[in-house]
Chains A and B, each alone.
Chain A
Amino acid sequence: MIETPNVDWLALSPTLALLGASGVALLTAVLVPAWMRKGVAASAALVGFVLAAVLAGVVFDESATPEALLAESMVRDRLAALAQVILAVTGAVVVLASWAERRRDWHSEYYALLAAAGAGMVFFVGAENLMTLFLGLEWFSLCLYVLVALDTDRATSLEAGLKYVIVGGFGSAVLLFGSALVFGATGELGFSQIAAAGAGNDAFLVAGLAMILAGLAFKVSAAPFHMWTPDVYQGAPTSVTAFMSAATKTAAMVVTLRILLTAFPEEREIWTVAVAVIACVSLVWGNLAALAQRDVKRLLAYSSISHAGFLLIAVSAASERGGEALLYYLVPYSAMSVGAFAIVAARERELDRPVTLEGLAGLGWERPLYGVALWVFMLGFAGFPLTGGFFGKLFVFSAAYDAGDWWLVLVGVAATAVSLAYYLNVVRWLYMRTPPAAPMVAVGGSPPSDPALGVAVGAAVFVTVASFFAAQPILDLASDAAASLPF
Chain B
Amino acid sequence: MTTALILLPLAGALVVAVLPLPRTTTAGLAFFVALMEVGLWIVAASRFDFDDGGLQLGTSQEWVESLGISYSVGFYGFSLWLVGATVVVSAAAIGYAMWVGRDRPRAYHALMLFLTGAVVATFASQDLLLFYVSFEAMLIPLYVLVGVWGGARRVAATLTFVVYTMAGSLLMLASVVAFGVTQGTFSLLDSGTSDNMWIFLGFAVAFAVKAPLFPFHGWLPLAYREAPVEVAAVLSAVVSKTAIFGFLRIGLPKFPEPVDDLTVVILVLAGAGLVYGSVLAFRAPDLRGIVAYSSLAQMGLITLGVFALNDLGLDGAVLQSVAHALVSATMFLLAGMVERRCGSGDLDTLGGMAQGRPVLATVLLTAGIIALAVPGSATFAGEFLIMAGVYDEGWGYAAIVALGIVLAAMYVLRLISAVLHVRPGSAVREEALDLRPGELALVLPLVGCLLALSAWPALVSQSSFPSDEPQQAISRSLR
Contact = CB atoms under 8 A, between A and B. Distances in A.
A417 B63 contact: no
Given A386-B140, A475-B64, A401 B133 contact: no
A413 B148 contact: no
A472 B65 contact: yes
B212 to A, nearest CB: 18
B340 interface: no
Interface stretch (B177-185, B241-249, B325-333): B177-185
Interface stretch (B52-60, B168-176, B431-439, B447-455): B168-176
B140 A401 contact: no
B98 to A, nearest CB: 21
A173 interface: no
Interface string A141-156: 0000000000000000
A432 B63 contact: no
Interface string A402-429: 1000100110011011001100100110
Interface residues of B, number: 34
A397 interface: yes
Nearest to A432: B147
B174 A397 contact: yes
Contacts of B166: 417, 420
A395 to B, nearest CB: 8
Interface stretch (B154-162, B216-224, B304-312, B370-378): B154-162
B136 interface: yes
A472 B177 contact: no
Interface string A469-485: 00110011001000000
Give the contact-size bracket for chain A.
20 to 34
A413 B136 contact: no
Contacts of A420: 162-163, 166
Given A420-B162, A428-B155, A428-B158, A410 B174 contact: yes
Nearest to A400: B177
Contact of A479 (B66, B129, B147): B66
A397 B172 CA distance: 13
A471 B181 contact: no
Nearest to A417: B170
B148 A385 contact: no
A351 interface: no
Contacts of B148: 431-432
A362 to B, nearest CB: 12
Contacts of A394: 67, 129, 173, 177
Nearest to A396: B177
Interface string A453-487: 00000000000000000011001100100000000
B178 A406 contact: yes
B143 interface: yes
Contacts of A398: 67, 177, 180-181
A402 B181 CA distance: 7
A385 B177 contact: no
Given A385-B136, A420-B162, A431-B147, A409 B174 contact: yes
A385 B147 contact: no
Contacts of A390: 133, 136
B140 A379 contact: yes
A391 interface: yes
Contacts of A391: 64
Contacts of B133: 385-386, 390
A227 B177 CA distance: 33
B357 interface: no
Contact of A413 (B134, B137, B162, B170): B170
* Residue among B137, B147, B181 having the largest count of chain A Cβ atoms under 10 Å: B181
A384 B155 CA distance: 20
B181 A385 contact: no
B174 A424 contact: no
Contacts of B66: 324, 472, 475-476, 479
A170 interface: no
B132 interface: yes
Contacts of A393: 173
B345 to A, nearest CB: 23
A394 B139 CA distance: 18
Nearest to A397: B177
A402 B166 CA distance: 24
Contacts of A417: 166-167, 170
Contact of B140 (A384, A416, A428): A384
A-B pairs, top 4 by smallest CB distance, nearest first, are A385-B133, A432-B147, A397-B177, A413-B170
7 contacts: A385-B137, A393-B173, A410-B174, A420-B163, A431-B147, A431-B148, A476-B66
Interface of A: 324, 365, 379, 384-386, 390-391, 393-395, 397-398, 401-402, 406, 409-410, 413-414, 416-417, 420-421, 424, 427-428, 431-432, 471-472, 475-476, 479
Given A385-B136, A479-B66, 4 more contacts: A384-B140, A394-B129, A401-B177, A421-B163
